[in-house]
Structure 1
Amino acid sequence: MILDILFPNRCLGCNRIIDADFLVCEICFEQIDFTHFDYFGDNFIKEKCKLLFPVEQASGLMQFKKENLSRKIIHELKYKNREKAGKVLAQWTSERLNFKDRKPDLLVSVPLHSRKQKERGYNQLHLFTEKLSEFYGIPFDHNLIKRNYYSKAQALKDKKHRLETENTFSITKAITGKHILLVDDVFTTGNTVATIAWEILKAGNNTVSVLVMAIDI
């Protein structure tokens, strides 16, 4: 309580003091570039994924543009120790995404290397995925996919190095006949989710869908 008084939570858009559980005020919320994609229809991210692997469905919550509020939210989540932002993003997702009667069987988030996770203190996708699991009643598995190599952040890599993802990930256990929803933060080239998707597809008679927090378009 004292910390809330001394260091109040402020809107990421306008710096106004807001409730501790919020990211932005009501006014700035209207400035967020939500995608409004149809999960079951054709959309930008689904078309991109189709070029890389046989995707079932795909969607993203926000647009990730230069200097926009969505980008600031993601950066706060990943690099400014705002892990709880994942909970808010999950809430926003649940208000916009309806799986109807075709829910995936399992939620799987893109893993960090153990060294990277130790440095950051958390995986920015875990709380987001866990809250989605609660909202939709879908189990999650943070350990199904293993990242084999330590590397610097995607945002710090040039495009050439982002494409170098061969053998980056591996499956840690047998899995077959499952519809897996692969969860990531930002979709850029799509190579990360494609690399993981192919590992899942090769593991058995599985299908893969994709959900991301933001799409770099």
Structure 2
Amino acid sequence: MILDIFFPNRCIHCNRIIDGDLLVCNVCFEQIHFTHFNFFENNYILEKCKLLFPIENAFALMQFEKENLSRKIIHELKYKSREKVGKILAEWTTERLDFKNEKPDLLVSVPLHPKKLKERGYNQLHLFTEILSKFYEIPFSHDLIKRNYYSKAQALKNRQHRLEIENTFSITKNISGKNILLIDDVFTTGNTLSSIAWEILKTGNNKVNILVMAMDE
């Protein structure tokens, strides 16, 4: 296509020209710090979550270290209008996450406040969740959780502000007896996921698992 000639797709890290459906070149791909966690075994994010709420299993795709390529990837997805990055991250996830014969019943994405959704134009988790849903043949819900208050981006908050999230979320419908996989982009303090997890847990005999694109130690 003409656009590909004049505006070729480039690696977000080294600026090398790459195929249109890629995000980084092969050389830079090797610099991404994948966690290699096993969903059903003890791992760092599972231990962090256990301190906050009852949890079954947890998985993080990448490490979210300072100056790390994974941080640049997430920022491309969230702040640079590149929603399709979610598809690439989902594909990387399916190559590394095996549910075996114990698949969750439902995939649930962390919501944006309607005002934030309008500002960004998309929820960075929706395409990611939908690709996973299709691959694993697990239904998903983007509206089970409601965000009650508008807030600044996590990257712009100080630590104290991040802790002020009580009653931020609510459940839109009654669910019971479900094994839910709660999906978010980055695990930092874990307070956002904890707030949602408790809402899910108190609605019925539900179980909560966690999947994040990246985790910040």
TM-score tier (shorter): over 0.9
Using the alignment, how far apart are the partners of 1:160 and 1:148 within structure 2?
A: 19
Task: Give the partner amino acid of 2:74.
Answer: I
TM-superposed CA distance for 1:3, in Å, is 2.0
**1:69 corresponds to which residue?**
69
**CA shift at 1:85, angstroms?**
0.3
1:124 counterpart SS class: coil
Structure 1 residue 145: Cα displacement = 0.2
Q: Which amino acid aligns with 1:174?
A: N
Matched residue SS, 2:9? coil
2:200 paired residue number:
200
1:185 aligns with 2:185: yes
Deviation >3 Å, runs of 4+: none
SS in 2 for 1:56: coil
* Aligned positions of 1:127-206 closer than 5 A: 127-206=127-206
Residues 20-64 of structure 1: per-residue CA shift (max 9 Å, x gap): 111101111100000001110111100000000000100100000
**One-letter amino acid of the counterpart of residue 20, structure 2:** A
User: Secondary structure of 1:203's partner?
Assistant: coil
**2:79 alignment counterpart:** 79
In structure 1, the partner of 2:124 is 124
Letter of the structure 1 residue corresponding to residue 123 of structure 2: N
- Report the TM-score when normalising by structure 1: 0.99
Read off the aligned partner of 2:72 and give its amino acid letter.
K
Structure 2 counterpart of 1:35? 35
Matched, 1:5 2:5: yes
Deviation at 1:13? 1.6
Instruction: Write the distance in 1 (CA, Å) between the matches of 2:152 and 2:136.
Output: 33
CA shift for structure 1 position 173: 0.6
> Could you tell me which residue of structure 2 aligns to residue 22 of structure 1?
22
**SS class of match (2:140):** coil
Q: Distance in 1 between matches of 2:114 and 2:2?
A: 34
Post-superposition Cα deviations, 1:77-121, rounded to whole Å, max 9, x if no partner, equal 000001000000000000000000000000001000001011000
Q: Whole-Å Cα distance in 1 between the matches of residues 7 and 173 of structure 2?
A: 44
Q: Distance in 1 between matches of 2:61 and 2:144?
A: 24
Task: Provide structure 1 residue ranges, at least 5 long, that are not aligned to the other structure.
Answer: none
When normalised by structure 2's length, the TM-score is: 0.99
Q: Mind listing any 5+ residue stretches in structure 2 that lack a counterpart? A: none
**Cα deviation digits, residues 183-209 of structure 1 (max 9, x gap):** 000000000000000000011110000
For residues 155 and 70 of structure 1, the distance between their equivalents in structure 2, rounded to whole angstroms, comes to: 15
Does 2:115 match 1:115?
A: yes
2:76 partner amino acid: E
Name the % identity.
76
Aligned residues: CA RMSD: 0.6
